[in-house]
Amino acid sequence: MPRFLLSLLAASSLAFSSSGCSAPSASPPQTGGAASEPKGGVGEIAGPYQVPDGKWPQWAHPYPKPGYIWGSQGGVFAESPNRIYFANRGELKLPEKMPPNLPAFGISGEFPGFWGALGYQAANEPIANMVNVIVVVDGSGKLIESWNQWDKMFEFGRGPHSVYISPYDPERHVWVVDDFRHAIFKFSHDGKRLVQTLGVLGEWGDNDDLTRFHRPTAIDWFRDGGFVVSDGYSNTRVVKFDKDGKPLMKWGTRGKGPGEFNGPHGVAVPASGDRVYVSDRGNSRIQVFDQNGKFIEEWPGVRGNNIMMSADDKHVWVADIGDDRVVEYDLNGHVEQAWGQYGLRPGYTWCPHQISADSDGNLYVAECFNGRQQKFVPKPGVDPARLVRPRPLMPLASTTN
């Protein structure tokens, strides 16, 4: 079985392949100047939300280490309105001489604090230092915790891909997917302990190997604690596990037909447990299966990075990299609403990679190419039915570690 070095070389050659996070073009979007604003106004950009504060979170504006900035943002998870986890792909060194004009904005002025604004390249292209990989902020974006004790575990990769807490776990373990190192980590709620590792760190397996992944992407749970993993950038399958992390079965192979995948990148399970929604990103569709992998139907026309169930289990929310937007589907695959656009100004996105929402109705978007986290606050008086609502978490047990 290939070991670490072979794994790293293979992963490097696949890092930004057609099944990876690839932008419509190699350079950032040019959205500068009022004349280039899309017709229709920002209301179509942010939907039911206000235009985000460009200086949220406080922790990164300015970045605490002079001469550096946070890197590509793989994921975000809002445990509550005052506890938000970032899956931060390390830090990037800023140019020695900052450009007098910020080409992405078409204006002179203060650097807005994220890599995409430099107009050079996507934030996941430079090699980052794996520092402050998992951080926790409050609602204002002030740093609460930085789990620096785990930074070294993400070296030789590109940092975390996504972050989650199961809605059925009273201990609220924090799960972090690392696609490049072929592993999924389960941490204690406070981050002090690594409770479990799924896969073998630094080793990859083929599509038939139930003990190893090959660049996994996402995870979601059944009520009994079992879960499914989309795997992923290099493998083309979904793997189902029991509550203890024992692999039970897999389904999927490479292709374009029913039950076949080209980059399964997101997965969502309703509370009923009778469906599994899979974002088949490379084939621009969502595939729907029963809990044992039997194909039911497909919803075409969406390149979903991240998908999640609504609080009432009647809707599926998708972060769509194809059109840089957030899309709401009903359970029959009909689009109910969508908003967003490719760009760099506040409210626009460049590769919305993971979305999350808190109980106050705030929406959080992690952008992998811009290297930015945005917080969208609901507009005053907006219809609550239009907001992204997360599945509620179980109350936190009094002893969790």
Q: What is the pLDDT of residues 95-133, one digit of tens each?
A: 988 876 665 555 556 788 999 988 878 999 998 999 999
pLDDT of residue 392: 96
CA 313 to chain CA mean position, Å: 20
Q: What CA–CA distances, in Å, run from 325 to 86, 132, 157?
A: 20, 28, 28
In tens, the pLDDT along 324-356 reads 999 999 999 999 999 999 998 899 999 999 999
Question: pLDDT-derived band of residue 27, with 50, 70 and 90 as boundaries?
Answer: low
Q: CA 348, 82, 21, 253 torsion: positive or negative?
A: negative
Token duo for residue 154: 């993400």
- In residues, how long is the chain? 401
User: Which residues, other chains included, contact 67 with Cβ-Cβ below 8 Å and sequence gap of 6+?
Assistant: 93, 94
| Domain regions of the chain by residue span | 4-32+47-386
SS3 386: helix
Rg (Cα) of the chain, in Å, rounded?
A: 20
pLDDT, tens only, 38-97? 333 444 799 999 999 999 999 999 999 999 999 999 999 999 999 999 999 999 999 988
What's the whole-number average pLDDT of the chain? 89
Model pLDDT, residue 16: 37
This prediction's pTM: 0.90
Q: Which CATH superfamily is domain 4-32+47-386 in?
A: TolB, C-terminal domain (2.120.10.30)
**Rounded CA gap, 282 and 304, in Å?**
9
In angstroms, what CA-CA distances link 367 with 154, 209, 272?
Answer: 19, 31, 31
Does residue 160 contact residue 174 with C-beta atoms inside 8 Å?
Answer: no
CB distance 370 to 92 below 8 Å: no
